[in-house]
Structure 1
Amino acid sequence: MHERSSTGELVKSLKGELDRYSVGEKLPSSRALVERFRVSPVTVARALAQLAAEGLVVTRPGAGTFRARPLMAPPPAGDTSWQEVALSADAATEVVPRAVDASGVLVTLAAPPPGVVEFNGGYLHPTLQPEQAMAAALARAGRRPGAWGRPPMDGLPELRDWFARGIGAGVTAADVLITAGGQSALTTALRALAPPGAPVLVESPTYPGMLAIARASGLRPVPVPGDPQGVRPELLAAAFAATGARVFVTQPLFQNPTGTVLTPERRAEVLRIVHAAGAFVVEDDFARRLVHDDAGPLPPPLAADDPDGVVVHVCSLTKVTSPSLRVGALVARGPVLERLRAIHVVDNFFVPRPLQEAALELVGSPAWSRHLRSISGELRSRRDAMTAALRLGLPQLALPHVPSGGYHLWLRLPDGTDESALVSAALRAGVAVAPGRPYFSAEPPAGHIRLSFAGVAGAAEIAEGVRRLQTACEEIAG
Structure 2
Amino acid sequence: MSDSSTSTELAARLREMVAGLAPGDRLPSSRELIKRYRVGPATVARAISALAAEGAVVTRPGSGTYAAVRGRPEAEPVDTAWQTVALTDRAVETRLIAEPLAPAPADTITMDGGYIHRSLQPTRALSAALARAARRPDAWDRATASGLPALRAVFAEIVGGGVTPDDVLVTSGGQSALSIAFRAIAGPGSPVLVESPSYPGALAAAGAAGLRPVPVPLDAEGVRPDLLADAFTMTGARLLYCQPTFHNPTGTVLSPERRRQVLRVARAAGAFVIEDDFARHLGHGGPVLRPLVADDGDATVVHVTSLTKPAAPSLRIGALVARGPVMERMRAVRMVDDFFVTRPLQEAALELLSAPSWDRHVRTLGADLRERCSRLAAALSREMPTATVTSVPAGGLHLWLRLPPGVDDTALTAAARQRGVAVSAGTRYFATEPPAAHLRLGFAATADHAELDEGARRLGAALRDLGPREQ
* Deviation of the 1:85 alpha carbon: 3.4
Contact 2:393 2:399 (8 Å CA) reproduced: yes
User: Given the alignment of the two structures, is residue 169 of structure 1 paired with residue 166 of structure 2, yes or no?
Assistant: no
Answer yes or no: is 1:262 the counterpart of 2:259. no
Counterpart for residue 242 of structure 1: 234
* 1:43-87 Cα deviation digits (max 9, x unpaired): xxxxxxxxxxxxxxxxxxxxxxx9994568975654556223313
Determine whether 1:82 maps to 2:82: no
Amino acid at match of 1:465: G
Q: Which amino acid is the alignment partner of residue 163 of structure 1?
A: F
Amino acid in the other structure paired with 1:253: T
CA distance in 1, matches of 2:283, 2:368: 10
State the TM-score, normalizing by the size of structure 1: 0.82
253-262 vs 365-374, which moves further: 365-374
Q: Does 1:206 align with 2:203?
A: no
Cα-Cα RMSD = 2.0
Range with greater deviation from structure 2 (68-77 or 178-187) = 68-77
Question: Deviations along 1:10-49, whole A, 9 cap, x unmatched?
Answer: xxxxxxxxxxxx9xxxxxxxxxxxxxxxxxxxxxxxxxxx
Spell out, residue by residue over 1:336-380, the C-alpha distance to the aligned partner (whole angstroms, 9 max, x if none): 111011001111210000000000001111211111111011101
Task: Quote the offset at 1:393 in angstroms.
Answer: 1.0
Which residue matches 1:380? 370
Q: Residue 167 of structure 1: CA displacement? A: 1.1
SS in 1 for 2:192: strand
Query: Which whole-Å CA distance do the structure 2 matches of 1:152 and 1:279 have between them?
Result: 29
Indicate whether 1:123 and 2:115 are aligned. yes
Distance 1:90 1:460, change over 3 A: closer
CA gap 1:90/1:133 in 2 versus in 1, 3 angstroms: closer
Amino acid at match of 2:376: M
In structure 2, the gaps of 5 or more residues are: 1-7, 9-49, 57-69
Residues 178-193 of structure 1 aligned to structure 2 (within 5 Å): 178-193=170-185
Alignment check: 8 A CA contact 1:108 1:434 kept: no
- Structure with larger Rg: 2
User: 1:204–1:226: 8 Å Cα contact kept in structure 2?
Assistant: yes
- What does 1:220-235 align with in structure 2 at a 5 Å threshold? 220-235=212-227
Are 2:276 and 1:284 equivalent residues in the alignment?
Answer: yes
Match of 2:288 among 298, 301, 305: 298
Mapped contact 1:308–1:333 kept (Cα < 8 A) = no
Determine the structure 1 residue equivalent to 2:129. 137
CA distance in structure 2 between the partners assigned to 1:395 and 1:134 by the alignment? 41
Percentage of identical aligned residues = 55
CA deviations on 1:429-449 (whole Å, 9 max, x unpaired) are 000000111100000111111
| Cα distance change on mapping 1:252 and 1:80 into 2, 3 Å | farther
Partners of 1:177 and 1:88 in 2: CA distance: 37
Please report how far the alpha carbon of residue 108 of structure 1 lies from its aligned counterpart in structure 2 after TM superposition. Answer: 11
Residue 381 of structure 2 corresponds to 391
Once residues 147 and 315 of structure 2 are traced to their aligned partners in structure 1, the CA distance between those partners, rounded to angstroms, is 15
* 8 Å Cα contact 2:145/2:334 also seen in 1: no
Provide the TM-score with structure 2 as the length reference.
0.83
Question: How do 1:27-66 residues align onto structure 2 when only pairs under 5 Å count?
Answer: none
The answer on whether the counterparts of 1:120 and 1:451 sit within 8 Å (CA) in structure 2 is yes
Q: Is the 8 A contact 1:287 1:405 kept in 2?
A: yes
2:223 and 2:120 map into 1 onto residues whose CA distance is 31
Give the number of aligned pairs.
407
Partner of 1:454, secondary structure, is: coil
Check 1:360–1:223 CA distance in 2 against 1; reply closer, same or farther (3 A cut).
same
